[in-house]
Amino acid sequence: MRGHAPHVLIPCANKLGESVVWHQATQRLIWLDLLDPTIFIHEDGDQAQRRGLPLEAPLGALVAAEDPDIMVITHHGGIVTYRISDGVIRPFGNPEGKRDAVAYNDGKVDRFGRFWVGTSHIDEKDPRGALWCVLPSGEATLGDVGFAVSNGPACSPDGRTLYFNDTLGRRTLRYEISPNDTYPRNRTILTQYDSEEGYPDGITVDAEGCLWVAHWEGGRITRLSPEGERLQTYKFPVSNVTSLCFGGQKYERLFVTTAKDPRKEEPEAGHLFVLEAGVRGLPEPLFPLCSLK
């Protein structure tokens, strides 16, 4: 097995840590607590700066814009921009409109500059969630529907394959995408998960084109080949593993968020972990917004 065992990097005790991003422009690690609306910014040491966000819970995704001072955040009511230097928040878009009982969840920017974001049923029961493709202008295209909980968009190194998790369906889906088409095409099932593996949550992709999947209620990360073959499994001392990203000078470190489970005594639940994965990742694409300063 490649790499070493995961260990706690930052003891942040999040209720629901999620959407971790390596911010290359500032060499910072940034992530969210979805249930206690907070953004965390870590530069060095074993502590992170905590900033409360005046946004309605739950939060969802966090991605970086081309402007190094701007992040994009999804939350219960839509999509906003967040200015790191002074905390200014501005509305950006709301593809779902006022549709009842739906909240924005995970999202990623593809290698052609579009923001793919999923929505979920607020009670995580009915298949009311969708997959949206959001352009830098704010214009959005509905890509797919029928998800109680959506998670984990990620793109292949060549940008032509989009991976997406139907979490309650316990499956990772695969679509074909192209730079001149905002519709994901030819949906197939990459892999299905059993009950022992829990539910697929966040995804990232390494430089070899393999997927790294976080498992909610599975206490693990799984590395999959582009064909869906299970290559490695890394066990965690917590049940709820939520999101992950590669970072560091050479993208050689895998940073992992986790969440608490109120039913279990897990002292390290909610902390941010790091794994020396033995394989390099790729920079996440930036959302090409114009400067909002």
List residues with catalytic annotation. 201
Angle at 9 between CA 87 and CA 111, to 5 degrees: 60
Q: Tell me the chain's radius of gyration from C-alpha atoms.
A: 17
Task: Dihedral sign for Cα 273, 6, 209, 227, please.
Answer: negative
d(C-alpha 6, C-alpha 27), whole Å: 21
Angle at 164 between CA 162 and CA 166, to 5 degrees: 155
DSSP state of 55: S
Chain-centre distance of CA 256, in angstroms?
A: 10
172, 187 contact by CB (below 8 A): no
